[in-house]
Amino acid sequence: MYIVTLLVAPAVRNLEPSLVDALRNAWGGGDAIWLAPDEAAEFAIVQIPGNRWDVWAELQQQGIDLVVQPMEGRRKKMLLADMDSTMIEQECIDELADEAGVGGKVKEITARAMNGELDFEDALHARVGLLKGLPVSTITKVLEERITYMPGGRVLLCTMKADGAHAALVSGGFTDFTSVVAHKLGFDENRANSLIARNYILTGEVGEPILGKQAKIDALSEITQRLELSERDVIAVGDGANDLGMLGRAGTGVALHAKPAVAAQCDVRINHGDLTALLFLQGYTAAEFVND
């Protein structure tokens, strides 16, 4: 059995019951269950329809996300999340680069690396090199003035943890940021790269080994083994090419507002909903959401 989930952005809440019923009837689905009025609904089907992606494309034009996934085991015991443009709305290195006056150069490299056009490690070294001479105090300034959190993140963490899940933040960014973001949102642990500084000035170097695509896969393997969980017990979320490995290995891998080349390689794509979409995908209703 499979579950079909339809959802829209919480700020819009324009999911029409007639549309849900029309798709349910066309695909021979079971009764519609509303997870949140006008926002998210689901129904069961026996097999994945052949026109799944054609319907997905049509619904995308209407601001509706469509996900089809196996029914069994969809409520997960662990969240594994990327940070930049996933749990927060920015790329931290781009914000630092703006402060250093090299924002344009770094943003171009970041965009190409996240789209899979450049090797992640080479791109990281190049970008960090452009930060040489930046005062370490700039990190605090960026955190306080430039970083905003992706909507729904706190609710996602609180709800899953209230249900006994473990949460890990694994980023190709930097520990100076992940430690703060993890504490703010309630992650149990975090992993990232380290910026090297001398006399409170960034040297333009990053600590080795680099936490990139393979390191995120390794984190998935290591943490699940430590917790005696299966990788099928994990829901992972990310947006960049360096997230594809963990998204492919996790029981449910969610491409959230992802780069086109990344989304194209993932079956679960959320382009309109916020991070609470990950709760709807697991069958949580809005009434079950925990805000603190």
- The model's pLDDT over 72-83, given as tens digits with 9 standing for 90+, comes to 999 999 999 999
Q: What is the C-alpha separation between 177 and 30, in angstroms, rounded?
A: 45
What are the mean pLDDT values of the chain's consecutive 10-residue runs (292 residues total)? 97 96 97 98 97 97 97 97 96 91 89 84 90 95 96 98 97 95 97 95 92 91 98 96 95 95 94 98 98 82
Annotated catalytic residue, options 21, 65, 82, 243: 82
State residue 239 phi and psi, 5-degree precision: -135, -10
Q: Which residue has the tokens 């490299």?
A: 109
Q: What are the residue boundaries of the structural domains of the chain, listed by start? A: 1-72
* pTM, full prediction: 0.94
For 231-262, how does the pLDDT look when each residue is reduced to its tens digit (9 = 90+)? 999 999 999 989 999 999 999 999 999 988 88
Annotated catalytic residue, options 65, 84, 233, 243: 84
DSSP symbol at 242 = G
Known catalytic membership, residue 98: no
Domain 1-72 belongs to what topology? Alpha-Beta Plaits (3.30.70)
Task: State whether residue 93 is helix, strand or coil.
Answer: helix
Known catalytic membership, residue 84: yes
